[in-house]
Structure 1
Amino acid sequence: MTPRRTAALLITAAVLANVAFTGLGAVFDYPDVLKQPAGDVLASFRDSQGAVTAWFLALALSAALLAPIAVGVGRLSTARPMRWAVPIGMAAAAVQVVGLLRWPLLVPGWATTAAGADPVAAADARSSFGTANRVLGNVIGETGGYLLTAAWTLFVLAALGTAFAGRWFVALGSVSAALVAAGVLSPLDLPLVDTANFVGYVLWSAWLLAFAAVLILRHRRRTTVPVPPAAAAAATVGS
């Protein structure tokens, strides 16, 4: 995991997440569709099952990339906060992947059963879907993802400090982390919480892209630093 590869993963994760989220909004009205009754959500899923499944897989992949990103970023500092950041980042990736994969792995079967002729089986499918949304979606994927993603960001910032890229980098990361963490209040239906969480992820994506840009620039500076004449002569003699 070189800095260049870490930068590439940061860019891929940010772009893929936003493209997938936009795609889900277009074909599935996600996440607003989740406010509808379970039967209506399953019917909407079944209507565009192929596209919805593909976009959720893309979103899960973007979340999974946080694991190798955490490893790569972890090599930028030996400070104690970074030692915490690596496992926290990997955990953030894991809980989000678990929450998102319910859509391509579990929901297709429930959607088919809910549309069937057996009313008892259909009711069980809707109930199972609701339970999965609460446990895998709200508790594990969302709440766990919000807290762990925010924690990873803050630990990384604590380890790197302003010396890495300046105060703007720390400010952008800190604000985005706080707004992402605000998503844990979403079940309380408080005003502006969902908006704050959405803005937080937009800012966090911008922070990831800025992170990648800083890594690329730092790499280029290291590779273009001129070799002092004395060092070059010594290297020639030694060869």
Structure 2
Amino acid sequence: MNPTDLTAAGPARATTAVCRGTAVTMIAAAVIADVAFTGLGAVFDYPDVLEHPAAEALAAFRAAQGAVSAWFLALALGAALLAPVAIGVGRLSAARAMRWAVPVGIAAAVVQVVGLLRWPLLVPGWAASGDVDAFATANRVLGTVVGETGGYLLTALWTGLVLVALGTRFAGRWFVALGAASAVLVFVGVFSPVGLPLVDLANFAGYVLWSLWLVAFAIVLLVRARRS
């Protein structure tokens, strides 16, 4: 074992409090994001509404502005929690891959928050003025390019770097297999603007698997923290 690698010793090398805090944050991130996504689907037909003409999407937002804005704030909070998760997970290994993973995870949180916050902060003004052009431009730049494409790429990259750093010694082959499968499917979302078939479905499945992986990761941390 590499003497600089803390993985084999598990979270015992980090403080128990940090491990528990990271685990709780992981679970919170997954639960908040999933609940907010479900809520947006119920009140706003999200994300399918983004495939509609900009004028229709803006009208749909205006019809349920309060609820939609609140759910997007919750979704942004879930995305933001990836930053402290990345910092906490970074303490589990001193491997080079983990040193890269920390800033990548923080960047993944930032781009997603930037993309999501356009809804509660900018879209209400465009909905009131009927500025369809500004709304459509923001969807392309802040939504598709920054929040979605950047978020998919960086989230997948962070997951891959964490798996490389921790390996199968951390929790077994299932941990690596589940994480790798989710990372690949999340990354597929980068090709969504091209319009390839099944890309959006694969990306959605990837995030479901990624949420499960994150919760499983948290459970492993909690069990090891209890033992240590």
TM-score (normalizing by structure 2): 0.92
| Secondary structure of 2:92's aligned partner | coil
Report the equivalent of 1:6. Answer: 22
Q: Does 1:74 align with 2:90?
A: yes
Report the equivalent of 1:190. Answer: 196
Q: What RMSD over aligned residues (CA atoms) do the two structures have, in Å?
A: 0.6
CA apart distance, 1:212:
0.3
Q: Which amino acid aligns with 1:143?
A: T
Report the equivalent of 1:145. Answer: 151
Report the equivalent of 1:129. Answer: 135
Whole-Å Cα distance in 2 between the matches of residues 133 and 43 of structure 1?
15
CA apart distance, 1:72:
0.2
Residue deviations 1:179-236 (CA, integer Å, cap 9, x gap): 00000111111111000000000000000000000000101111xxxxxxxxxxxxxx
Residue deviations 1:12-59 (CA, integer Å, cap 9, x gap): 000000000000000000000011111111110011001000000000
The residue correspondences of 1:159-174 to structure 2 (distance < 5 A) are 159-174=165-180
Residue deviations 1:113-133 (CA, integer Å, cap 9, x gap): 11xxxxxxxxxx101111100
Q: Does 1:111 align with 2:112?
A: no
Q: Which sections of structure 2, spanning at least 5 residues, go unmatched?
A: 1-16
CA apart distance, 1:105:
0.5
Report the equivalent of 1:231. Answer: none
Whole-Å Cα distance in 1 between the matches of residues 139 and 155 of structure 2?
20
* Greater RCO, 1 or 2 (C-alpha within 8 Å, sep 6+): 2
Whole-Å Cα distance in 1 between the matches of residues 24 and 150 of structure 2?
26
Whole-Å Cα distance in 1 between the matches of residues 72 and 187 of structure 2?
22
Report the equivalent of 2:104. Answer: 88
Match of 2:215 among 209, 213, 223: 209
Report the equivalent of 1:31. Answer: 47
| Secondary structure of 2:190's aligned partner | helix
Q: Which amino acid aligns with 1:187?
A: P
Whole-Å Cα distance in 2 between the matches of residues 105 and 171 of structure 1?
39
The list of structure 1 runs, each at least 4 consecutive aligned residues, that deviate by more than 3 angstroms after superposition, is: none
Whole-Å Cα distance in 2 between the matches of residues 131 and 42 of structure 1?
12
Q: Does 1:55 align with 2:66?
A: no
| Secondary structure of 2:94's aligned partner | coil
Q: Which amino acid aligns with 2:23?
A: A
Whole-Å Cα distance in 2 between the matches of residues 35 and 192 of structure 1?
15
Whole-Å Cα distance in 2 between the matches of residues 38 and 159 of structure 1?
43
Identity across the alignment (%): 72
Residue deviations 1:58-105 (CA, integer Å, cap 9, x gap): 000000000000000000000000000000000000000000000000
TM-score (normalizing by structure 1): 0.88
| Secondary structure of 1:75's aligned partner | helix
Report the equivalent of 1:45. Answer: 61
